[in-house]
Amino acid sequence: MELQGKVAVITGAGRDGKGIGRSIALELAKAGADVVIADYVEEAAKAVAAEVKALGRDAVAVKADVAAPADCEAVVDTAVDKFGRVDILVNNAGITRDNLILRMSEAEWDAVIDTNLKGTFNCTKAVAKLMLRQRSGRIVNIASVMGIIGNAGQANYAASKAGIIALTKTTAKELGSRGVNVNAIAPGFIQTVMTEEMPEQAKQSIEKQIPLERLGTPDDVAKVVHFLCSDAASYITGQVVNVDGGMVM
C-alpha cells in the first residue's frame, strides 16, 4: 500500500463500466490512496466513489465542469476540506467531437479544446499553489497518441492532446524545484465506451496496426498512472509514456 495516506484527485472519473478514470480511481485506492472523484455527471461520480469505499478507502464525489476555473478550484477546496491535502492530480477528463476539418464547426472545436486542454490547465493551476506549499505532489495528464501522430477527423482532439503534452513539459519545469513531478500518459486505442461503439471491422483494422495485436484496457493505463504516482517514479518528470501496444512505432 505504497500510496497509504495519499490523497488523489481524478477528473472525468465517473464514467460507468470501462472508463479510464474509473480504473485509475480504483487502482490508486487499492494502493492505499483516498480519492476525490470529479465528473460532469454527479451520479456517475457517486457510483465510482461508492466502489472506492467498498475497497476500504475514503472517497468523495464532486460535480464539476473542468472547463470552468471556479469548478476546478471547488474540487481542490473540497479535497482540502475533506482530507487536508492533495498529493496526486490526474487530469483525465476529456471529450471528442469528431469531424473533418472542413466540416468542423467552431462549437465542436471550442468544446474539445475547452474541456481537454483548458480543463487540464484549470485543474493544474488550482492545485499547483497547494502542492508548492507542500513541496511535494504528482500530476499525471492523460494525453493521447493522437497528440503525437494526429488523426484524420480529429483536428480538435489531436490539437488538445498535443497541447497537453506541451503543458506537461512546461509545468514540469515550473514546479520541479518544489518537488512536484508532472508527467503525461499517451494511450493508444483503449477498450472504453467510445471504442465499443466502433464497427467490429474498424476495430480489427486498428488491431492490425498494433504490434501487440490488441486494444488496450483501462487497467493498462491505470497501472502506469499508479507507477508515476509512486516513489518508484520520484526521478521522472516531464515525460510522455505511450501506452499503446507499440502503435506509435
Rounded CA-CA distance 59/16 in Å is 17
- Type of residue found at 199: P
Rounded CA-CA distance 114/117 in Å is 6
Query: Hey, which bits of 105-207 come out as E strands?
Result: 137-142, 180-187
Which residue carries 472542413 as its cell? 102
Rounded CA-CA distance 37/60 in Å is 6
* H helix runs in 103-154, sequence order: 106-112, 119-134, 146-149
- Collapse the DSSP code of 48 into the 3-class scheme (helix H, G, I; strand E, B; otherwise coil) and give the result: helix
Which residue carries 502542492 as its cell? 131
Sheet with 59-63, strands from edge to edge, namely: 59-63, 34-39, 7-11, 88-91, 137-142, 180-187, 240-243
- Catalytic residue annotation: 157
Grid cell digits, residue 45: 461520480
